[in-house]
Homo-oligomer: A and B are copies of this chain.
């Protein structure tokens, strides 16, 4: 199968959670919107309802032959068993999906640190609100999410979120830690010692041969101030 990933071409964003799974599995895929001038118009054709198949609300979406599947966690639910990145048993797949959904909720809260009033307003027009939102995030919500995943790793043992079995959710937790280090270096430096299993998981993912190769390649976009993880020093006190 040759997969087609449709996502905005200049940010890691939600697409990155899919890219990491495709890269780890050495899947054949095209990152359509990054192919050149025709990339974004190809993506827009789906969003505007001018393409065949089920209508996506927003990127990312994945074309896998005929089906067009949208919503990051849904794409991973679909890809997981096909790429060998989750066990086949339904109970385990639902558990992996549940963890991925919690990561997705966490990601929304990261986004809301710099856009608490929504994407319609520039950061500069919601800066004081962002400061309040980010202060609560780094003091309360960030430890809560980190603590949750640390507890899961402690309970399940084996070093991965599903225990001994590596899965796509580990790739997503890696991405969260990488992004949070970019966005909130001070808060993370202070917090990380309390969550050794989570940090160790991040480091082990980064060393996986295909992930290491991907991170060193031009296919990995750099974090930047247009993505979900943004570094504003005033929000990281």
A side interface size, CB within 8 A: 40
A73 touching B55 by the CB < 8 A rule? no
Choice from B55, B121, B148 contacting A148 with Cβ under 8 Å: B55
Q: Answer yes or no: A196 CB below 8 A from chain B CBs.
A: no
B49 touching A74 by the CB < 8 A rule? no
Q: How far is the CA of A151 from the CA of B141 in the complex (A)?
A: 36
Q: Answer yes or no: A31 CB below 8 A from chain B CBs.
A: no
Instruction: Assess A132 versus B117: contact at CB under 8 Å? Given A98-B69, A101-B74.
Output: yes
Q: Is the interface of A mostly helix, strand, loop or mixed?
A: helix
Residues of B within 8 A of A97 (CB): 71, 74, 77
Residues of B within 8 A of A78 (CB): 94
B102 touching A117 by the CB < 8 A rule? no
Would you give 11 A-B contacts (Cβ < 8 Å), ordered by A? A54-B95, A55-B155, A73-B101, A77-B97, A108-B108, A116-B116, A116-B117, A117-B136, A118-B136, A120-B140, A120-B141
Q: Answer yes or no: A16 CB below 8 A from chain B CBs.
A: no
Residues of B within 8 A of A94 (CB): 67, 69, 74, 77-78
Interface hub of A55, A70, A109 (most chain B Cβ within 10 A) = A55
